[in-house]
Structure 1
Amino acid sequence: METYRPQRQPGLDIGSSPVLRRRRVLGLLPSMAVAGLWSSMAHAHSGYPQHPVKLVVPAPPGSSPDVMARQWGERFSKLSGVPVLVENKTGATTIIAAQAVANAPADGYTLLWTFNNTFSINPFVFRKLPYTIEDFVPATQVLAVPFVLLVAPQARWRTLGDLLDDARARPNALNYGSAGMGSGFHVAMARLLNATGTSMTHVPYRDAFIPDLIAGRIDVTFDASTTAIAQVRGGTLRALGVSDPKRLEQLPDVPAIAETVPGYSANSWQGLFAPKGTPNDVVQTLAALSNQIVAAPGFRSQVREYGLLPVGSTPSAFQKFVTEDARDWGRVIRDNRITID
């Protein structure tokens, strides 16, 4: 567990801080001036926070969620004047971390920084979970995480169209890897196959699957933009498409999958949740401070370098987004009978 211990610095300019851009579906991102005024008023009204905030992250140190949570936590500390303690609780596809926060005091000092598996995938993949979305209050979406569709550089498919044509001609002959049954990469590929009327054989991995893709032992896979961009730029892998409806700034020559498959979108996301019962003024202050971080030009610029998309949202907008996101991913999971006992 790491702790940030800032000195309280009123009016601190966080414009040079690193981190993240994104999805205008939630497009409630205010300007810097409005965001600063909003967060200052909310902070003054609620008095939150007054002591260290624990940020529980269901991913290991060095992973994309961990890195983003720590960078966000550092900036939150500078704005609020209180330390942020990042605690990694890994395992069981975010279930352990989610359960820990669900059982924490509802005072705003234990928060869950998580991604779409927790509420958009797990409830449909697992027959029984120790938590539900009703155990939490969505506070704010911080960013979106596009996926990149990848093949080996020596692969014969030069475009997504080539790959889909081959899959149609040879049902289930091609295979695709993923980070495991019910992972975001698995469900994103199932969504693509459903949308195009094609079929491939799923090869779930418990450990790293990219080395097998590079070696040609699997044909294709999705990976997060945070790790895929460097591989594509370095020539280790070839990108056929991205899951965001628009092309990524960091991969401008790689088409959005939606250019070939209209309407396709399969981004992940990262956001903040508090335990059920957390006072509304605390949740509103948390969201306001977070939105000020996300609105900072330096933060947004750095996030784009990671291939991520900064969002920012109100609690009500994030609640609506999570509900719709779970509906969309859940439909794919049910249609493909993806379950884990």
Structure 2
Amino acid sequence: MTSTRISRRTAIGMAGVWMAAATGAARAQAPYPSRPVKLIVPFPAGTSPDVIARLWGDEFARATGQPVVVENRSGASTIIAAQAAANAPADGYTLLWTVNNTFSINPYVYKKLPYKAEDFVPVTRILSVPYVLVISNESRIRSLQDLVREAKARPDAMTYASAGIGQGTHVAMARWLNQAGLSMTHVPYKDYFLPDVIAQRVDIALDASTGAIPQVKAGKVRALGVTSPQRIEALPDVPAIAEAFPGFVGDSWHGIFAPRGTPPQVLAALLAQSQRIVSGSDFRAKLKGYGLTPVGEPPEAFQRFLDEDARAWAKVVKDNRIAAE
């Protein structure tokens, strides 16, 4: 009969291995989140995505007891932030809060990107962002019909501002001009363009509802239309552009993404918390006050939306030969 003896040193070593394995298993099964969550936002502090991301973060922290740390990584059409998020550990503790440029526009505007859509998994689309077509309140143009008549009478003479080549405000405007059969001169900006619209240095622009609505209410710009399929609660007297141009839609959106490989139970917890937040009456009221439309759809529906969104914007980019380095 053979006996097996284990030395004291070996026993201690094996006990250490077992303890480490048990600790690892306990961590794997720990409720999510068990520590602070970092939310990468591709825009500066105080911008619409930053403000809404922080509102979401406050609600998430209140429900889970874990703080949400917003990291603003602005610049390069969301590319810097997307690259940082793509390279983060896939553990649910670094997330990307972004807009349509990252996945629906950039892949068609830029020849090379340091990230791919496949680097991420969609968690949920939080909201839809209508753009508002605005003109100086001092302009003699009073309606969308006035604008169309003026633009048809003077092809390429009228100017429109945007946040830059290939940005949502540029591509959405190009989409409408195509449908309306109009031609205007694009003036891309590196900084905020609305002051030049107010001063009539440039004729018109599409601006996100969050930026446009305060200027409309202050009487500095006149709203001619919104890019959402229907009118929005914050501007009930402003028509949807689709009322005059059926089928037109040009909204952006905010959504949450996680690095690919994030555990399913973590994604499920993120979705549950996000849908609870979006369904809350206070959160919804705040979004609607900014002119935003709450969504909160699950990942499968979000992915279908992303596929359709990308196809639509890819066509606009191609038809208008929009390219950036």
In 1, the alpha carbon distance for the partners of 2:145 and 2:324 equals 32
Query: Which residue number in structure 2 is paired with residue 18 of structure 1?
Result: none
Query: Which residue number in structure 1 is paired with residue 108 of structure 2?
Result: 124
Query: Which residue number in structure 2 is paired with residue 58 of structure 1?
Result: 42
In 2, the alpha carbon distance for the partners of 1:157 and 1:323 equals 37
Query: Which residue number in structure 2 is paired with residue 87 of structure 1?
Result: 71
Deviation at 1:208, TM superposition (A): 2.0
In 1, the alpha carbon distance for the partners of 2:299 and 2:34 equals 21
Of 257, 260, 274, the match for 2:241? 257
SS at match of 1:311: strand
Query: Which residue number in structure 2 is paired with residue 227 of structure 1?
Result: 211
The amino acid that maps onto 2:141 is W
Query: Which residue number in structure 1 is paired with residue 82 of structure 2?
Result: 98
Provide the aligned C-alpha RMSD in A: 1.1
- State TM-score, norm by structure 2: 0.89
Task: Report percent identity of matched pairs.
Answer: 60
Contact residue 46 and residue 281 of structure 1 kept, 8 A: no
Deviation at 1:181, TM superposition (A): 0.6
Deviation at 1:337, TM superposition (A): 0.4
CA-to-aligned-CA distance 1:247-279 (integer Å, 9 cap, x gap): 111111100000011011111100100001111
In 2, the alpha carbon distance for the partners of 1:260 and 1:156 equals 20
Deviation at 1:47, TM superposition (A): 2.2
Question: Max radius of gyration: which structure?
Answer: 2
The amino acid that maps onto 1:278 is T
SS at match of 1:289: helix
Of 147, 160, 164, the match for 1:176? 160
Deviation at 1:46, TM superposition (A): 7.6
In 2, the alpha carbon distance for the partners of 1:85 and 1:201 equals 41
Deviation at 1:309, TM superposition (A): 1.1
CA-to-aligned-CA distance 1:268-324 (integer Å, 9 cap, x gap): 100100001111221121111100000011111111111111110111111111111
CA-to-aligned-CA distance 1:204-256 (integer Å, 9 cap, x gap): 11112111111111111000100111111111000000001111111111000
In 1, the alpha carbon distance for the partners of 2:304 and 2:263 equals 19
Query: Which residue number in structure 1 is paired with residue 258 of structure 2?
Result: 274
Please state if 1:115 is matched with 2:99: yes
Task: Count residues in correspondence.
Answer: 297
In 2, the alpha carbon distance for the partners of 1:219 and 1:76 equals 41
CA-to-aligned-CA distance 1:48-86 (integer Å, 9 cap, x gap): 212111111111111111111111001001112212111
Query: Which residue number in structure 2 is paired with residue 9 of structure 1?
Result: none
Query: Which residue number in structure 2 is paired with residue 328 of structure 1?
Result: 312
CA-to-aligned-CA distance 1:151-191 (integer Å, 9 cap, x gap): 11121221111111221222111110111111111001100
Which structure 2 residue ranges, 5 or more long, are not aligned?
A: 1-28
The amino acid that maps onto 1:66 is D
Contact residue 46 and residue 282 of structure 1 kept, 8 A: no
The amino acid that maps onto 2:66 is V
Query: Which residue number in structure 2 is paired with residue 153 of structure 1?
Result: 137
In 1, the alpha carbon distance for the partners of 2:191 and 2:161 equals 11
Structure 1 runs (4+) deviating above 3 angstroms are none
Query: Which residue number in structure 2 is paired with residue 165 of structure 1?
Result: 149
Contact residue 56 and residue 97 of structure 1 kept, 8 A: yes
Which structure 1 residue ranges, 5 or more long, are not aligned?
A: 1-44
Of 171, 175, 180, the match for 1:191? 175
- State TM-score, norm by structure 1: 0.85
In 2, the alpha carbon distance for the partners of 1:256 and 1:120 equals 23
Please state if 1:213 is matched with 2:197: yes
